[in-house]
C-alpha cells in the first residue's frame, strides 16, 4: 500500500523572492552556500524554491546569513493550507 505524503507549508516562494531581491541566480546562491560548507546541488536548491524538497536547518541558517535576513522573513505571509481541526 502506497501512502501519499501531504504537502506541508513551503518556504520556497519566500526563498525565491529573497534570491531575486538579491539579484542572484540559483547557481550563484548554490556556489555561495557551498563556500559556507553546505553541500547542495543546483537541482536540490531548485526543489527548495519549488517546495518539493524539505529544507534542512543548516541550509536555512546559511540562507539567512547569505540574504542577511532573520528567520521570520522566511515565514512571512505563509498560511497552513490544511489546518488541523
Q: Give the tens place of pLDDT for each residue, 38-53.
A: 999 999 999 999 989 9
Nearest to 42 by CA among 69, 73, 19, 14: 19
83: CB partners within 8 A, 6+ apart: none
Q: pLDDT tens-digit profile of 6-29?
A: 556 789 999 999 999 999 999 999
The pTM assigned to this predicted structure is 0.80
Confidence of residue 78 (pLDDT cuts 50, 70, 90): confident
Q: pLDDT tens-digit profile of 61-77?
A: 999 999 999 999 999 98
Q: Residue 28: how many CB atoms within 10 A of its CB?
A: 13
State which H helix or E strand residue 12 sits in. helix 12-21
Q: What is the pLDDT of residue 85?
A: 42
Question: What CA–CA distance (Å, rounded) separates 4 from 46?
Answer: 22
Domains of the chain: 12-68 (1.10.260)
Amino acid at each position: 500500500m502506497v501512502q501519499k505524503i501531504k504537502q506541508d507549508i513551503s518556504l520556497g516562494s519566500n526563498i525565491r523572492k529573497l534570491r531575486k531581491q538579491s539579484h542572484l541566480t540559483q547557481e550563484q546562491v548554490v556556489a555561495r552556500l557551498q563556500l559556507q560548507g553546505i553541500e547542495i546541488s543546483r537541482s536540490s536548491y531548485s526543489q527548495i524554491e519549488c517546495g518539493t524538497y524539505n529544507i534542512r536547518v543548516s541550509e536555512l541558517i546559511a540562507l539567512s546569513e547569505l540574504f542577511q535576513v532573520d528567520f521570520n522573513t522566511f515565514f512571512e505571509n505563509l498560511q497552513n493550507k490544511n489546518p488541523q481541526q
